[in-house]
Homo-oligomer: A and B are copies of this chain.
Amino acid sequence: MTASVTQPPSSSASYWLVGVDVGGTTVSTVLLDELLRPHGELTVATDLSSPDATLLSIVAAIQQTLALDADPSRSLAAIGLGIPGQQDTLRGIVRIAVNLHWYDYPLVERLVARFGVPCVIDNDVRVATLGVYRFDNPAGEQDLAYISVGTGLATGVILEGRLLRGRHGLAGEFGHMIVDPNGPPCNCGARGCLETLVSATAVVRRARELLALGMPSSLRTLNPLTARGVYDAAAAGDLPAQQIVDAVGTELARSLRSVVLAYDVDSVVLGGGVTRAGERYLRPIVAEWLRQQESSALARAVLRPEILRIADPTRNLGAWGAAALAAEALHPTEG
């Protein structure tokens, strides 16, 4: 439905693509030209006062993004958006985006009415995975998994250069793999899903639990208590924080083993605020992989630490990936 709205520009034309990463807190955008070169980026607060107010804040962000470069030879050709939750990508409908209060919201129809160009949506983590594949992929890997660690944990997968979506758009929902049947309750209704043990939210919960036991820790002075704060405290030698970082790393290492065995990818990229701890985030994961290697030829073959890395923290790969999604909508064969 989206591609028929306007004639797609010929591949030699000059035009703009806008990529939008819609989060529960902020809306981030990027303005790319037809060669996917950046001309501006923008981040504004998400207006959550009503579903339509959220739309208007996104529309305003797109308009402001277009105003970032006044080049009169270019006009808007397509918009791509990454939206949290479950999307009907074919019909352009946001099925369920809990944090945005959007349920069966006809986002693409509304945006097309406003901008008159093709608009495409997909799940935010999947869009960010496309961003990693297109813009943060120095070795040109054609098979990679991207793990986004935040409030929850979600995985996007590229196989042979193509985004894996699955029959219902749920492929890669590793955050809801049950790793401890007696573990903490998960938002999904199960117990001990991976994200209840290793997400940024889980890191904070683990810290609160340790503090409740009365342990001496510099974490008591943190306000607010954040996952990044726990990693910083661990680096500074705080023992309870180190305990949490090690436990999370070990659990994540086991689960990334499952990701590697599931897809046999050559690159596993971690992203999300807490991963900006960088090497300190990777170290306990690598330590567990090396422990597994000691006794296992299989582990030595597949759990090679060099396949692990942190996504480029200097740009919003969600917004960039959304712009790449828009480009694919214009030229599907390039996808």
Contacts and interface: CB of A to CB of B under 8 A. Distances in A.
A254 B167 contact: no
A264 B166 contact: yes
Contact of A302 (B168, B264, B295): B168
A294 to B, nearest CB: 8
A263 B166 contact: yes
A62 to B, nearest CB: 31
Given A297-B188, A298-B188, A164 B159 contact: yes
Nearest to A263: B171
A309 to B, nearest CB: 16
Given A159-B164, A190-B292, A258-B258, A170 B297 contact: no
Interface residues of A, number: 38
Interface string A174-188: 101111010000001
A265 B166 contact: yes
A125 to B, nearest CB: 13
A301 interface: yes
Given A159-B164, A164-B159, A258-B258, A169 B264 contact: yes
Given A159-B164, A166-B143, A177 B261 contact: yes
B159 A302 contact: no
Given A178-B254, A181-B254, A171 B296 contact: no
Contacts of A296: 188-190
Interface string A285-321: 0000000100111110110000000000000000000
A233 to B, nearest CB: 26
Interface in A231-273: 254, 257-258, 261-266
Contacts of A166: 143, 263-265
Interface of A: 143, 159, 164-174, 176-179, 181, 188-190, 254, 257-258, 261-266, 292, 295-299, 301-302
Given A170-B264, A188-B297, A190-B299, 18 more contacts: A166-B264, A166-B265, A167-B265, A167-B266, A168-B301, A171-B262, A171-B264, A172-B261, A173-B264, A173-B302, A176-B257, A177-B261, A178-B257, A179-B179, A189-B299, A190-B292, A258-B258, A262-B262
